Chains A and B, each alone.
Chain A
């Protein structure tokens, strides 16, 4: 039984190591990075279709997800990679939040008392575990079908039926004046039209001294070969066209746009897939999938 704790303890250690390793990087403000960040970021798209609930969202992205929304909870379906990766993301989030909010990591519900928003919640794959860990969760997604699926599925378990799911966007929540202790945007930023604006919204949703967690895919050659060529074309894990390499952000760019939005990235970790065991693990290799924890 102490194994679970050892696992958590190890994670803590990894984070601390990463923290030290990224300290210089986090403080980096060279022109090179700023230029790179600015030039590579997609320009804000002119607002189209005023009825759409989005501002920083791409409409073709929404259509892509609406088409496969039914399969969110099919553990063998198109979202299987996300299901398999989920415990690894949660391990990072759990330990980072426990440390930041001084919660007891040995508790079964360590996030009790925390208000968390899951931006781009999809079918609720992240919202549900967060609710089971005790958090008061709001899940938002711009795709109405996703929200329906998420509501239906969360309603099946008393532990998750209290999650508030809304078909809305981060920007709308800001307009409504909502704030949260922690803001999650996992695997979302690569699908938005204007990451900088998106980060500003996330920052506005975060209470002072709150936390923001973002995960995405690096714009590296390795990410291109693994996340797009391998995952979409060879292994067919993801429907083709799920990701566009040019909209990926590098960790440096993400750190910078978050910094401009008022969020300090304190920790970063990579997710590494082991093709032999078929599992994901946390590592300091951020060349493909990475997650960043920042505080406001």
Chain B
């Protein structure tokens, strides 16, 4: 960890950045390019020397998605020579963070899909995840409160060893951080916030009209200029907004979003069982879905969607009452267990069965009882938000900055990893062809690639959310029949698992 800090210090203080002409007229070099005195007062020094560090890429937001992008860039021979600045005021980036296996598990977890895992494995980051608490699961059971439908998926249905892996966000983040640190990738971490951004996209005519301008280096010379919270600035050819759902980069770039808030909150927390849970469970209740995800070491994570009033109530009730509610919700609450055969549905659907090895015969199981609350209960409002554009000249959005989804299937971070991987690949292709990495035509390729995938997943998650917000008899039967259909029609079932596990196949319905 000290290496990161050392790197940062040496980069900031010695200003080991390419010193180039900051004037727009050719051939004129700025005189003040001499190496400034090393001083602790970063801000003052900036003002004196007027040498503004220049990077290839500035990643605003060093969370999981931003760090994943750094990892992907570091592991690609085309991009590993890029200089990258990471702007994030989160102290976790700069200080040594030791995750102990004995620490109680954090309630903030992600379900990482096999597709994301393979990206992270290729980048060399997954091995760090495996050093800490994580839980692979190979079975998934989805059912609903009406007692009419259930579906059980097994990894072998799609010829895989597992359907996904649940890991705490801090474990994932730390793994990505370690991966970048252990590479020889040139990253500089600015423990600051972004205060403003000058993109200056239509610079040519201006520069032409005013070639002998005495103005200090304008942003056009060095791509985008980012002003940071301590008054200093940096230049970057490409600014990546990985700063989450309330993205400041998105706002500064003037990119609008469309979306809505669900009038629902999610309670998340960690719970303990008497034995280890090895299956991902999801039950649809009239108020919203409850998910129980295995975290390893007899721990599970709960994501429970409900109305804001209920969530506030359940956050404040005693642990005992809460655990009773959870067990009730995962068992007999709101309705009976689904029977293994829905009055002849098995016969109706049996002729769809094409593959005897599929787990169509697996019986409904009851999830393990929750015995202890192992973390605080956290409440998050749910919303769906999508940026109208992912890319402008010199600016690109990834992860939640581009799209916020319903946390239904833990897909949020996977979409973000998908974005980061796609962007790193497009940048690598651009570099292979000598493209300016801030060029909008190149960035639009990323947008085209990811927009379809993201909108598709958002629509599915939103659709499921809406389907379960209706409690109406005939509709319930229809929905249950759909469940049964999904459970019995092998190709469909396979495509649903594939889609949920991050492989790009289009499910016909869900």
**A108 at interface (Cβ–Cβ under 8 A)?**
yes
In the complex, chain B residues 405-462 whose Cβ is within 8 Å of any chain A Cβ: 424-425, 428-436, 439-442
**A1 at interface (Cβ–Cβ under 8 A)?**
yes
Given contacts A91-B433, A94-B432, contact A158 B78 (CB under 8 A): no
**A70 at interface (Cβ–Cβ under 8 A)?**
yes
Q: Contact check, A106 vs B77: say whether CB atoms are below 8 A apart.
A: yes
* Bound-state Cα–Cα, A248 to B77, Å: 41
Q: Contact check, A3 vs B425: say whether CB atoms are below 8 A apart.
A: yes
Please give the number of chain A residues whose Cβ is less than 8 angstroms from any Cβ of chain B in the complex: 35
Q: Contact check, A87 vs B435: say whether CB atoms are below 8 A apart.
A: yes
Cβ contacts under 8 Å, B441 to chain A: 75, 83-84
Q: Contact check, B434 vs A130: say whether CB atoms are below 8 A apart.
A: yes
Binds A, one of B18-26, B125-133, B366-374, B480-488: B18-26
Q: Contact check, A152 vs B24: say whether CB atoms are below 8 A apart.
A: yes
- Produce 1/0 per residue, A126-146, CB < 8 A to B: 001111110000000000000
* Bound-state Cα–Cα, A90 to B429, Å: 11
**B237 at interface (Cβ–Cβ under 8 A)?**
yes
- Give A8's nearest chain B residue, CB to CB: B432
- Give B54's nearest chain A residue, CB to CB: A158
**A57 at interface (Cβ–Cβ under 8 A)?**
no
Q: Contact check, B122 vs A153: say whether CB atoms are below 8 A apart.
A: no
Number of A-B contacts (CB under 8 A): 98
- Give B73's nearest chain A residue, CB to CB: A1
- Produce 1/0 per residue, B210-254, CB < 8 A to A: 010000000011110000000000000100000000000000000
Nearest Cβ in chain A — how far from B200, in angstroms?
10
Q: Contact check, B20 vs A152: say whether CB atoms are below 8 A apart.
A: no
Nearest Cβ in chain B — how far from A72, in angstroms?
8
* Bound-state Cα–Cα, A105 to B78, Å: 10
Given contacts A106-B77, A152-B26, A158-B54, contact A4 B428 (CB under 8 A): yes
**A155 at interface (Cβ–Cβ under 8 A)?**
yes
CB-contact partner of A1 in B78, B204, B220, B434, under 8 A: B78
Cβ contacts under 8 Å, A130 to chain B: 434
Q: Contact check, B435 vs A129: say whether CB atoms are below 8 A apart.
A: yes
Q: Contact check, A70 vs B204: say whether CB atoms are below 8 A apart.
A: yes
* Bound-state Cα–Cα, A87 to B435, Å: 8
CB-contact partner of A158 in B20, B208, B428, under 8 A: B20
Nearest Cβ in chain A — how far from B412, in angstroms?
24
Q: Contact check, A156 vs B26: say whether CB atoms are below 8 A apart.
A: no
Given contacts A156-B221, A158-B54, contact A4 B429 (CB under 8 A): yes
A4, A130, A151, A161, most chain B CB atoms within 10 A = A4
Q: Contact check, A132 vs B77: say whether CB atoms are below 8 A apart.
A: no
Q: Contact check, B21 vs A90: say whether CB atoms are below 8 A apart.
A: no
CB-contact partner of B436 in A7, A148, A157, under 8 A: A157
Q: Contact check, B18 vs A108: say whether CB atoms are below 8 A apart.
A: no
- Give B425's nearest chain A residue, CB to CB: A3
Given contacts A4-B425, A152-B208, contact A129 B433 (CB under 8 A): yes
Q: Contact check, A75 vs B439: say whether CB atoms are below 8 A apart.
A: yes
B81, B208, B433, most chain A CB atoms within 10 A = B433
Q: Contact check, B431 vs A108: say whether CB atoms are below 8 A apart.
A: yes
* Bound-state Cα–Cα, A132 to B203, Å: 21
- Produce 1/0 per residue, B464-493, CB < 8 A to A: 000000000000000000000000000000
A: which residues have CB within 8 A of B? 1, 3-4, 7-8, 70, 73-75, 83-84, 86-87, 90-91, 94, 106-108, 128-133, 148-149, 151-153, 155-158, 161
B: which residues have CB within 8 A of A? 18, 20-21, 24-26, 54, 72, 75-79, 81, 122, 203-205, 207-208, 211, 220-223, 237, 393, 424-425, 428-436, 439-442
Ordered by A's residue number, 10 sampled pairs between the chains whose C-beta atoms are within 8 Å are A4-B76, A75-B440, A84-B441, A87-B429, A94-B432, A132-B431, A149-B204, A152-B204, A152-B208, A157-B436
Extra contacts, 6 of them, besides A1-B424, A94-B434, A128-B434 (Cβ < 8 A), are: A1-B76, A74-B204, A75-B393, A108-B81, A128-B436, A155-B221
